[in-house]
């Protein structure tokens, strides 16, 4: 089986557009079509059908997708194991959503480094869907994400819950918060829907932020109010630099870890999971 054809199949299945697939793989559209045709001839099945939404998997394509993911993962793992045998090193690659990278990913990597001082560790930050694709392709070993994406061949476990609190640089009650002193942070679709339902009057505030990691620096520099993770603001609340807004609702976002299902017996992976559980224990002021 041609592994380049497998990679092309998986990329087209995810992107659904020949042009996007060709651009991502640095191929021509005709080269992408030729690889897919080669696979279909080998399998004796049509894998894609054209629709108004682009290239859609046929029932046979949906069934083959799971096998293709597994083949790609096995290939990547085989290459890594042979490389480790030759060099005598072990490498584990951890990824996290950007809003988790500044604190949780760094603490996770540090805890793993303490447990496995000879382990080679690579840290990566990207958005949840991209991390899932990288884990599925074998480019990452574990990803810390906000979306429970049940991609074939992956384990997805909820490991914690992010508590989002409305905080301010001065004592305020909810009725004192308005569109002029509130920074609306886009924490994702589920949060946005809940926020719109419970705080409709703040949904269209004067200030908004699409990159959540900018929220705390903005608040510390400019003042005002915003929803930020308790794990991030707990030390500032304890020091009196920030205060919770009285009567403001609390929102929660589940955190998930994902990894390849056939890697569960890996000792480094289990060490990484143990290190993650360690850093997710409530810190002082978070209980």
pLDDT along the chain (287 residues), means of 10: 85 90 92 93 92 89 86 74 64 92 93 93 90 86 87 87 95 94 90 93 91 91 96 94 97 94 84 95 59
CA 216 to chain centre: 20
Give CA separation, 39 vs 35, 60, 86, 169, in Å.
Answer: 6, 12, 33, 59
244 and 196 share a domain? yes
Burial of 258 (0-12, 13-18, 19+ CB in 10 A): buried
Cα 268 from Cα 265, distance rounded (Å): 9
Query: Do 210 and 126 have their domain in common?
Result: yes
Q: Does residue 204 lie in a domain region?
A: yes
Give the domain-ending residue among 53, 78, 103. Answer: 78
- Between CA 168 and CA 58 the distance in angstroms is 52
Model pLDDT, residue 283 = 53
What pLDDT sits at residue 3? 84
Is residue 247 located within the same domain as residue 168? yes
Give a yes or no: residue 85 inside a domain: no
pLDDT per residue over 92-135, tens digit each? 999 999 889 988 999 999 999 999 998 999 999 988 888 998 88
Total domain count, the chain: 2
CATH classification at residue 16: 1.10.10.10
71/204 same-domain check? no
Do residues 56 and 104 share a domain? no
Residue 100 and residue 68 in one domain: no
Is the same domain home to 50 and 142? no
The confidence score (pLDDT) of residue 106 equals 94
Q: Give pLDDT, residue 80.
A: 66
Regarding whether 67 and 32 lie in a shared domain, the answer is yes
Which structural domain, as residue segments, surrounds residue 36?
Answer: 3-78
Q: What is the DSSP letter of 94?
A: E
Buried b (16+ CB within 10 A) or exposed e, 1-40: eeeebbbbbbbbbbbeebebbbeebebeeeebbebbeebb
Q: Residue 200 has what pLDDT?
A: 92
Tell me whether residue 65 is in a domain.
yes
């Amino acid at each position: 089986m041609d592994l380049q054809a497998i990679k092309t199949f998986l990329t087209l299945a995810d992107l659904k557009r020949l042009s996007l697939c060709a651009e991502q793989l640095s191929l021509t559209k005709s080269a992408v079509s030729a690889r897919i045709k080669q696979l279909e001839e080998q399998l004796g099945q049509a894998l894609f059908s054209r629709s108004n939404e682009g290239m859609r998997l046929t029932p046979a394509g949906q069934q083959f997708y799971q096998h293709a993911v597994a083949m790609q993962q096995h290939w990547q793992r085989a290459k890594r194991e042979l490389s480790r045998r030759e060099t005598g090193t072990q490498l584990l690659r951890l990824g996290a959503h950007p809003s988790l990278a500044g604190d949780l990913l760094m603490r996770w990597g540090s805890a793993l480094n303490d447990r496995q001082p000879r382990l080679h560790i690579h840290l990566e930050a990207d958005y949840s869907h991209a991390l899932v694709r990288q884990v599925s392709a074998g480019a990452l070993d574990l990803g810390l994400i906000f979306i429970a994406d049940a991609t074939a061949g992956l384990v997805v476990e909820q490991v914690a819950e992010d508590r989002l609190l409305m905080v301010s640089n001065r004592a305020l009650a909810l009725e004192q918060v308005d569109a002029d002193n509130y920074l609306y942070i886009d924490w994702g679709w589920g949060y946005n829907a809940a926020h719109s339902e419970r705080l409709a009057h703040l949904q269209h505030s004067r200030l908004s932020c699409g990159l959540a990691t900018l929220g705390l620096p903005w608040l510390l520099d400019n003042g005002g109010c915003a929803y930020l993770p308790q794990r991030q603001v707990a030390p500032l609340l304890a020091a009196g630099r920030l205060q919770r807004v009285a009567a403001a609702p609390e929102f929660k976002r589940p955190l998930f870890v994902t990894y390849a299902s056939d890697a569960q017996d890996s000792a480094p992976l289990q060490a990484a999971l143990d290190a993650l559980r360690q850093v997710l224990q409530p810190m002082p002021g978070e209980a």
